[in-house]
Amino acid sequence: MTIPLMLYVVWMGLMGKVPRLPILNETVRNLYFHVPMWFGMIFLFGASVWFSIQYLRTGNLENDTKAGSYVEIGTVFGILGLVTGMLWAKFTWGEYWSNDPKQNASAVGMMIYFGYLLLRGSLGNERDRARISSVYSIFAFSILVPLIYVLPRFTDSLHPGNGGNPGFNPYDQARYMRPVFYPAVLGWTLIGFWIGDLVIRYKTLIFKRLENVK
């Protein structure tokens, strides 16, 4: 399902009809490639929180492996979101980094998740690692969501839909972009979960191997 969806998104994303806007020009098509990175990241981190809670409830280490793997691929999506956002910003807002509140907030958010990965890497004991990183993941997510989705809305941001900023808003303009945008979000998210699943299978193998050695 992911593959036809992505083929459709790339084709329609590049060839489909888009509104003609000043400054943005054709870069409005980045809506199909930059924005879904953040959606994918949030879904992946959300899955991580879900499995962290499951770990804390059941104590099953499989859940912790899943939580850790989804954060890994979620962080990759976040980095890609930041880099593509910087490129887009350079050609529409003038600077790679203009200290836009949403840019700064998402950078801080990424730092928090780098902290998660470092924490996981530095704890040797599986049980400790699972317990501490599960709690960390839940807290990180509950900080990240207001950081990215709530706080920038209180201040002036260059991102559309924030602080009464005039700009294009995909949700009330350009209705014909939606049939591409929603599949784009779904497609990229599925790619994220697909790769996340590969990481999980790899880690499960490693885990089983370690148990055999013991």
The least CB distance from residue 164 to another protein, in Å, is 25
Q: How many chain residues touch another protein (CB under 8 A)?
A: 30
Pick from 4, 11, 17, 25: which binds another protein (CB under 8 A)? 25
Among 2, 8, 16, 30, binds another protein (CB under 8 A): 30
| Distance of alpha carbon 42 from alpha carbon 51, whole angstroms | 14
Residue 125 CB burial class (10 angstroms; 0-12, 13-18, ≥19): exposed
- Output the CA–CA distances (angstroms, integers) from residue 83 to 56, 69, 153, 171, 200, in the order listed: 34, 22, 22, 24, 26
The yes or no reply on residue 159 touching another protein (CB under 8 A) is no
Does 39 participate in binding another protein (rule CB under 8 A)? no
Member of 12, 34, 100, 113 binding another protein (CB under 8 A)? 34
Does position 80 interact with another protein (CB under 8 A)? The reply is: yes
Question: How many whole angstroms separate alpha carbon 145 and alpha carbon 155?
Answer: 16
- Angle in degrees, CA 132, 135, 140, rounded to 5: 115
Task: State the residues that interact with another protein by CB under 8 A.
Answer: 10, 13-14, 24-27, 29-30, 33-34, 37, 73, 76, 79-80, 83-84, 87-88, 91-92, 191, 195, 198-199, 202, 205-206, 209
